């Protein structure tokens, strides 16, 4: 059996585990049990904030890891409901897979056709998440990078979206963070070089979504959406300025 390395959001350490066991990633603190243009459906810095657990990743037929991954989470002052993961096709649930992308460790790769997002690890594996992607006419591809990332971001629809959907004018100054905010619990802001060679906002985001049923579909206005529990997990792994490849 092959060995795997574990990547923590705080540090890197390696120890042997079977690929058919679970991988566990450390957290900043223990969990106490208890769009750019994207379709519409704050951090609590006090000492009482509960950090969500970054659960184990199942790599075999045992589904108990999925129940933990998609359990209800209290995060940033919000109670994210549990996801009925049995209604999410198995291939779109978070899991560890071999890195067949050809990209170096620390890269985000989005396969828009397969509706997968990969985050490559240093040991030849990748964490794979199911995603929702842009609907016809809103697809995009290429190389970019994470300019910055935010927890519980505000969402401000672009002017083009307001022109298409005038009812969104009420959000022209931004929509408050919350469970129904289209950007969900976390957002990565995607930039790349423009025609003048300057670093520019693409207008696209990788973000969470309360609409777990949309994962595996092409429904957004170009953004890449994940289940909220998955974007929280990804957020803890990815540093600012991480490269992104959208295929």
What are the catalytic residues? 207, 223
Q: How many helices (H) and strands (E) does the chain have?
A: 3, 15
Closest to 19 (Cα-Cα) out of 64, 55, 58: 58
Closest to 118 (Cα-Cα) out of 21, 230, 4: 230
Separation CA 61–CA 51 (nearest Å)? 28
Could you identify the residue written with the tokens 């992607």? Answer: 133
Are 4 and 17 in contact, with CB atoms under 8 Å apart? yes
For residue 99, is it left (φ>0), alpha (ψ between -120 and 50) or beta?
beta
């Amino acid at each position: 059996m092959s060995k795997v390395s574990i990547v923590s959001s705080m540090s890197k350490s390696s120890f042997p585990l079977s690929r058919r066991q679970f991988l566990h990633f450390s957290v900043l603190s223990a969990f106490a049990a208890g769009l750019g243009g994207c379709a519409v459906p704050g951090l609590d810095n006090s000492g009482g904030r509960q950090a969500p657990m970054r659960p184990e990743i199942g790599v075999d037929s045992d589904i108990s890891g999925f129940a933990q991954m998609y359990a209800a989470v209290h995060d940033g002052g919000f109670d994210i409901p549990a996801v009925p993961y049995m209604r999410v096709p198995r291939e779109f649930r978070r899991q560890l897979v071999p890195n067949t992308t050809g990209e170096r460790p620390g890269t985000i790769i989005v396969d828009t056709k397969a509706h997968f997002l990969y985050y490559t690890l240093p040991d030849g594996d990748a964490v794979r998440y199911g995603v929702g992607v842009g609907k016809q006419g809103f697809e995009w591809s290429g190389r970019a990078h994470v300019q910055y990332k935010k927890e519980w971001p505000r969402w401000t629809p672009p002017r083009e979206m307001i022109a298409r959907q005038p009812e969104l004018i009420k959000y022209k100054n931004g929509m408050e963070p919350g469970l129904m905010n289209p950007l969900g619990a976390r957002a990565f802001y995607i930039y790349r070089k423009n025609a003048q060679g300057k670093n520019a906002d693409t207008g696209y985001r990788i973000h969470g979504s309360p609409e777990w049923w949309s994962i595996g579909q092409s429904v957004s206005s170009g953004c890449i959406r994940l289940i909220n529990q998955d974007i929280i997990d990804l957020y803890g792994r990815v540093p600012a300025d991480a490269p992104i490849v959208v295929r």
